[in-house]
Amino acid sequence: FWGMFQIGGFNWKKCGAESPVDFARRMSTSEKEQLELFVNFLKSNNLAKYLKAKNWAGFALRYNGPSYAKRGYHTRLAKAYSKYKKQSKK
């Protein structure tokens, strides 16, 4: 699993990389590259709609797998969203 979004290398095609080597190179290049690969991953898996709807459980289920609730990924996403939304209003 690579980068700040912890994307499995086996998802290199879904991230828009040309090969596993290209994926690893880009993940190792910069945070900007990691973000671009993550956005490509979201698009190819149709996950952005869950984020736009603030459906944290729907997103976490599809991004983190069926154990998302046990690990609290959905509540952590909701909490982070709330925190940064409040900060942006200041």
* Overall average pLDDT of the 28-46 stretch: 98
Of 31, 24, 43, 44, residue with least CA distance to 5: 31
Q: In sequence order, what DSSP letters do the residues of 39-90 get, joined into one string?
A: HHHHHHTT-HHHHHTT-HHHHHHHHH-TTHHHHTHHHHHHHHHHHHHHHHT-
* Overall average pLDDT of the 46-74 stretch: 97
Per-residue DSSP letter, 13: T
Say how far apart CA 63 and CA 65 lie, in whole Å.
6
Please, what is the average pLDDT of the chain? Answer: 96
Say how far apart CA 63 and CA 15 lie, in whole Å.
13
pTM of the entire structure? 0.85
Asked whether the predicted pLDDT for residue 2 surpasses 90, the reply is: yes
